[in-house]
Amino acid sequence: MREGGGMTKSSKIKTYFSLSRNERYVSLVICLVSISGGLISPYLYVYLREIGAGYFSLGWIQLLSNFVLAIAYFLSGPLSNYFSGKTIFLVALLCSLLATLTFNFALMWYIFVLGLLIGKLGEGFREISIFVVISSSTIPERRATTFGVVRTFQYAAAVIAPLVGGFVASSYGIRSVFLLPILLLMLAVVISYAKIKITIEEKIKEKYMFSLRRIIEVTSINRNITILIVMSFLGQFFMEFGNPYYMVFMKDVLSAPDTMLGLATSAIAVGSLIAGIPSGFASDAMHQRKPFILMNIFIAAIAVTLTAMAFNPVFIVITYFLFGISNVIGVTATQAYIADVVSASMRGHAFSAILTASWLGGMFSPPIAGAIAETYGLRIPFVINATGVFLQGFIVWVLFIEERWKNHT
């Protein structure tokens, strides 16, 4: 400390990057979940393709996945506020564990799809409940930094997992990559139950878990929250033209080996690892969120454009690296903005509304993209994807007007 009680520069930096007990244990659990996901995520749709699913079928499977994810986001905000973020976080982990068990024991493709849908339910519950737990235990001055630090731990764990999964899949077959995640997720459940504590803010109980009044309140809290909800719907509609088809595009069009699929998935983790802490710290230091929300959108648009032009699997690896940077910047800035302008009792609802709109928007584009791919080839959906995301960025740039920092709550 300096004379007069002022903090030194090093003390301020330490305050920015220090984590509470809950944040440390959440980071550890997310690391375990991230390793599990990194092992299996490159191979879900590739395996479905191997057992007979066509491009159009994959589109419908993605539609169902997005619908379940939207429902999970819609439910998890109110549920996290009512039962606590920790409780819903545990439910999310149990869903992920059940999904992984289903992958291992499924003998029919539709049972495998059932596991995929259960996993999406867990993913939706996990994303909102993490936000509630962390935002409830973080001071306003370091919100974006803390979200960035936690995401960095998440993606640090995910860097190696896809590469390991690629080696295992190449050596022993794709089904073999679904075994290790069972043990990792069991450990995550035990740690979460024993170590993560319910914070004071999480003990605030909602009188009604679900009500039209609450939904209307979310959209009227702040003009920019409404813009984020609408743009999330529009942005994911266009992103889902490409999302189900990246790995299939690498395999069918670019003739990539299984190890390259793992490398691409690892690249998204590397991008997020690099950008997570700097973007969060910069947002807090600048007292601004809008520049980082825009940066997320335009980097994603450039990444999709690279895919549309790809003639080598390396292009997709670069695309995924850029997606990693884009995703962590966007999520960190959006979560921090919600925590800035929304009261504790409504934060879960607000983030839930944004993500629900996002995945409802993404529901119907995969079948359309599948039909286009069957007729015109897999490149055209990525062209539509890029065009739409650039449009989304322009609209946010024009309409999103950020309040002065002193007005943040």
Average the pLDDT over 287-306 and give the result: 92
Burial class of residue 259 in the structure, from the number of CB atoms within 10 Å of its CB (0-12 exposed, 13-18 middle, 19+ buried): middle
Query: What average pLDDT does this structure show over 317-329?
Result: 91
pTM of the model: 0.71
pLDDT at position 5, please?
47
Q: Domains, the chain, ranges and CATH? A: 15-196+210-407 (1.20.1250.20)
Q: What is the pLDDT of residues 1-14, one digit of tens each?
A: 344 444 455 554 55
C-beta separation of 265 from 42 below 8 A: yes
pLDDT tens readout for residues 201-237: 555 555 555 555 666 666 666 788 889 989 999 998 9
Q: Name 372's Cβ contacts closer than 8 Å, sequence gap at least 6.
A: 380, 381, 384
Q: Each residue of 119-176: pLDDT tens digit?
A: 999 988 988 888 888 777 776 667 777 777 777 777 777 777 777 877 887 788 777 8
Residue 409 CB burial class (10 angstroms; 0-12, 13-18, ≥19)? exposed
Among the ranges given (67-81, 186-200, 201-215), the one the predictor scored with the smallest mean pLDDT? 201-215
Q: Is the pLDDT of residue 388 over 90?
A: yes
Mean pLDDT computed over 183-205? 80
Residue tagged 């925590």 (tokens) = 339
- Report pLDDT digits (tens) over 77-109: 778 777 888 889 999 999 999 999 988 887 777
Residue 312 identity (one-letter amino acid): N
pLDDT confidence bin for 17, thresholds 50/70/90 = low
